[in-house]
Amino acid sequence: MDCTNKIHVVYDDGLLGLNGQDYQYLFSYEKGGLESMRFNGKEWLYRPLYPTYWRATTDNDRGNGFNFKSAQWLGADLAPKCINIDLTVDDRHFDQLPIAPLTNQFSNHEFAKQVKIEFTYETATNPAAQVKVAYAIDASGKCRIAAHYLGQAGLPELPVFGVRLIMPTLATEFEYDGLSGETYPDRMAGGVKGTWHVDGVPVTPYLTPQEMGMHMQSSRLKIVRNQTQNNADHDERPFALTVKQTDQPFNFSLLPYTASELENATHIEELPLKRRTVLVVAGAVRGVGGIDSWGADVEEQYHLPADRDYQFSFEIEPATIE
Amino acid sequence: MQADLKWLDDPQTFRVNQLPAHSDHQWYLDYAEADQQSSSFTQSLDGQWRFAFAKDPQNRIKEFYAPDYDVSKWDLIKVPSMIELNGYAQNQYTNIWYPWAGKIYRRPAYALSPDDLQAGSFSQGTDNTNGSYVKHFDLNESLRGKKVRVRFEGVERAMYVWLNGHFIGYAEDSFTPSEFDLTPYLKDTDNILAVRVYKHSTASYLEDQDMFRFSGIFRSVKLLGQPKLHLEDLDLKPRVTDDFKTGIFNVDLKLQGQDGQVLIKVFDAQGNLIVDESKAAAERVGVHDIKVKDAHLWDNHHPYLYQLFVELRDQGGQLLEVVPYRFGFRRVEINADHVVLLNGQRLIINGVNRHEWNCRTGRCVTMADMEQDMATFKENNINAVRTCHYSDQIPWYYMCDQDGIYMMAENNLETHATWQKMGQDEPSFNVPGSIPQWREVVVDRARTNYETFKNHTAILFWSLGNESYAGDNLVAMQEFYKDHDDSRLVHYEGVVHTPAYRDRISDFESWMYLPPKKVEEYLQNNPDKPFIECEYMHDMGNSDGGMGSYIELIDKYPQYVGGFIWDFIDQALLVHDEISGQDVMRYGGDFDDRHSDNEFSGDGLMFADRTPKPAMQEVRYYYGLHK
Strand partners, B353: B386
> Interhelix angle for B616-625 vs B548-556, to 10°?
10
**B162 near B197, Cβ under 8 Å?**
no
Instruction: Give me chain B's average pLDDT, please.
Output: 98
Enumerate the H helices of B10-133 as residue ranges. Answer: 31-36
Residue B289 has what pLDDT?
Answer: 98
**B266 near B234, Cβ under 8 Å?**
no
pLDDT at residue B269 tops 80:
yes
Mean pLDDT across the stretch B509-526? 98
Among residues A263, A61, A160, which one has the least CA distance to residue B543? A61
Condensed to tens digits (0 to 9), the pLDDT of residues B435-471 reads 999 999 999 999 999 999 999 999 999 999 999 999 9
Condensed to tens digits (0 to 9), the pLDDT of residues A158-178 reads 999 999 999 999 999 999 999
Task: Show contacts of B111-115: CB within 8 Å, 24+ apart.
Answer: B111/B418, B111/B429, B111/B430, B111/B431, B111/B433, B111/B435, B112/B428, B112/B429
Q: What is the C-alpha separation between A72 and A69, in angstroms, rounded?
A: 8
Q: Using H for helix, E for strand and C for coil, what is the string for A296-307?
A: CCCCHHHCCCCC
Catalytic residue among B410, B467, B493, B618: B467
The amino acid occupying position B122 is F
pLDDT at residue A246 tops 90:
yes
3-state SS assignment for residue B579: coil
Query: What is the residue-wise DSSP string for A255-291?
Result: ESS-HHHHHH-SSGGGSPPP--EEEEEEEEE-----S
Condensed to tens digits (0 to 9), the pLDDT of residues A199-209 reads 999 999 999 99
Kindly report the CATH class assigned to B239-327.
mainly beta
Condensed to tens digits (0 to 9), the pLDDT of residues B93-136 reads 999 999 999 999 999 999 999 999 999 999 999 999 999 999 99
Condensed to tens digits (0 to 9), the pLDDT of residues B367-385 reads 999 999 999 999 999 999 9
Among residues B252, B263, B260, which one has the least CA distance to residue B281? B260
3-state SS assignment for residue A246: coil
A61 phi, psi to nearest 5 deg? -60, -45
CA angle A314, A315, A318 (to 5 degrees): 150
Which of A185, A208, A211 is the closest to B599 by Cβ?
Answer: A208
Is A287 close to B541, i.e. CB distance below 8 A? no
3-state SS assignment for residue A23: strand
Express the helix, strand and coil content of chain B in percent, nearest 5 each.
20, 30, 50
CA of B6 vs chain A CAs: smallest distance (Å): 39
Pairing of strands B345-346, B349-353: unpaired
Q: Which residues lie below 8 Å from residue A76, measured CB to CB, with a gap of 6+?
A: A53, A54, A123, A124, A125
Residue A321 has what pLDDT?
Answer: 80
Residue B356 is among the residues annotated as catalytic for this protein: no
CA angle A110, A112, A113 (to 5 degrees): 165
CA of B537 vs chain A CAs: smallest distance (Å): 5
B295 phi, psi to nearest 5 deg? -65, 140
Is A190 close to B546, i.e. CB distance below 8 A? no
B278 phi, psi to nearest 5 deg? -135, 135
Q: What is the C-alpha separation between B249 and B289, in angstroms, rounded?
A: 6
Give domain limits for chain B. Answer: 5-23+38-225, 239-327, 332-569+604-626
Q: How far is CA B364 from CA B126, B214, B369, in A?
A: 26, 10, 10
Condensed to tens digits (0 to 9), the pLDDT of residues B569-590 reads 999 999 999 999 999 999 999 9
CA of A262 vs chain B CAs: smallest distance (Å): 13
B84 phi, psi to nearest 5 deg? -60, -40
Which of B537, B540, B545 is the closest to A287 by Cβ?
Answer: B545
Q: What does the CA dihedral B516, B517, B522, B524 come to, rounded to 10 degrees?
A: 120
B424 touches chain A (CB under 8 A): no
Pairing of strands A250-255, A277-285: antiparallel
Is A190 close to B600, i.e. CB distance below 8 A? no
CA of B128 vs chain A CAs: smallest distance (Å): 30
What residue of B is the nearest CA neighbor of A185? Answer: B545
CA of A224 vs chain B CAs: smallest distance (Å): 23
Give burial (CB, 10 Å; 0-12/13-18/19+) of A231. Answer: exposed
Strand partners, A85: A119
Which of A180, A186, A191 is the closest to B545 by Cβ?
Answer: A186
Condensed to tens digits (0 to 9), the pLDDT of residues B17-46 reads 999 999 999 999 999 999 999 999 999 999
Residue A88 CA, chain-centre distance (Å), reads 22
pLDDT at residue A3 tops 90:
no
How crowded is residue B264: how many other Cβ atoms within 10 Å of its Cβ?
A: 21
Instruction: Give me chain A's average pLDDT, please.
Output: 97
Residue B85 CA, chain-centre distance (Å), reads 22
Q: What is the C-alpha separation between A303 and B545, in angstroms, rounded?
A: 12
Residue B599 is among the residues annotated as catalytic for this protein: no
Q: What is the C-alpha separation between A136 and A139, in angstroms, rounded?
A: 10
Strand partners, A18: A9, A25
Is A288 close to B542, i.e. CB distance below 8 A? yes
How crowded is residue A284: how many other Cβ atoms within 10 Å of its Cβ?
A: 19
- Percent of chain A past pLDDT 70, that is, above it, reads 99
CA angle B378, B382, B387 (to 5 degrees): 110
pLDDT at residue B261 tops 60:
yes
CATH topology of domain B332-569+604-626: TIM Barrel (3.20.20)
3-state SS assignment for residue B616: helix
Half-sphere exposure at residue A254, Cβ-oriented, CA atoms within 13 angstroms: 28
What residue of B is the nearest CA neighbor of A56? Answer: B542
The predicted model scores a pTM of 0.97
Q: What is the C-alpha separation between A72 and A158, in angstroms, rounded?
A: 9
Which letter does DSSP use for residue A25 in this model?
E
The amino acid occupying position A2 is D
The amino acid occupying position B250 is N
Confidence of residue B398 (pLDDT cuts 50, 70, 90): very high
Chain B residues within 8 A of A206 when measuring between CB atoms: 541-542, 602, 613
Residue A307 CA, chain-centre distance (Å), reads 22
Q: What is the end-to-end Cα distance of chain A in Å, rounded?
A: 30
Is A204 close to B543, i.e. CB distance below 8 A? no
Is B599 close to A302, i.e. CB distance below 8 A? no
What residue of A is the nearest CA neighbor of B623? Answer: A190
Q: Which helix (H) or strand (E) holds B448?
A: helix B439-453
B533 touches chain A (CB under 8 A): no
**A283 near A251, Cβ under 8 Å?**
yes
Mean pLDDT across the stretch A296-302? 97
Among residues B376, B400, B378, B375, which one has the least CA distance to residue B387? B400
Which of B538, B572, B614 is the closest to A207 by Cβ?
Answer: B572
Condensed to tens digits (0 to 9), the pLDDT of residues A114-153 reads 999 999 999 999 999 999 999 999 999 999 999 999 999 9
A184 touches chain B (CB under 8 A): yes
Is A291 close to B515, i.e. CB distance below 8 A? yes
Confidence of residue A4 (pLDDT cuts 50, 70, 90): low
Give domain limits for chain A. Answer: 7-319
Q: What is the C-alpha separation between B626 and B551, in angstroms, rounded?
A: 9
Enumerate the H helices of B14-122 as residue ranges. Answer: 31-36
Strand partners, B533: B563
Instruction: Give the sign of the dihedral formed by CA B224, CA B230, CA B235, CA B237.
Output: negative
How crowded is residue B620: how many other Cβ atoms within 10 Å of its Cβ?
A: 18
Among residues A123, A115, A184, which one has the least CA distance to residue A148? A123
Residue A1 has what pLDDT?
Answer: 43
Mean pLDDT across the stretch A57-76? 98
A59 touches chain B (CB under 8 A): yes
Q: What is the C-alpha separation between B589 and B399, in angstroms, rounded?
A: 35
**B567 near B539, Cβ under 8 Å?**
yes
Q: Return the CATH architecture of domain A7-319.
A: Distorted Sandwich (2.70)
Among residues B446, B436, B439, B365, which one has the least CA distance to residue B412? B446
**B324 near B309, Cβ under 8 Å?**
yes
Q: How far is CA B486 from CA A215, A318, B288, B460, B567, in A?
A: 50, 70, 16, 11, 29
Which of B546, B548, B618 is the closest to A291 by Cβ?
Answer: B546
CATH number of B5-23+38-225: 2.60.120.260
Q: How far is CA B451 from CA A148, B236, B282, B447, B505, in A?
A: 66, 11, 20, 6, 20
Condensed to tens digits (0 to 9), the pLDDT of residues B168-182 reads 999 999 999 999 999
Residue A70 CA, chain-centre distance (Å), reads 21
Q: How far is CA B35 from CA A76, B26, B155, B322, in A?
A: 69, 12, 30, 11
**B537 near B545, Cβ under 8 Å?**
no
Q: What is the C-alpha separation between B434 and B123, in angstroms, rounded?
A: 25
pLDDT at residue B517 tops 60:
yes
Is B541 close to A293, i.e. CB distance below 8 A? yes
Q: Which helix (H) or strand (E) holds B624?
A: helix B616-625
pLDDT at residue B293 tops 80:
yes
Q: What is the C-alpha separation between A184 and A215, in angstroms, rounded?
A: 7
pLDDT at residue B235 tops 60:
yes
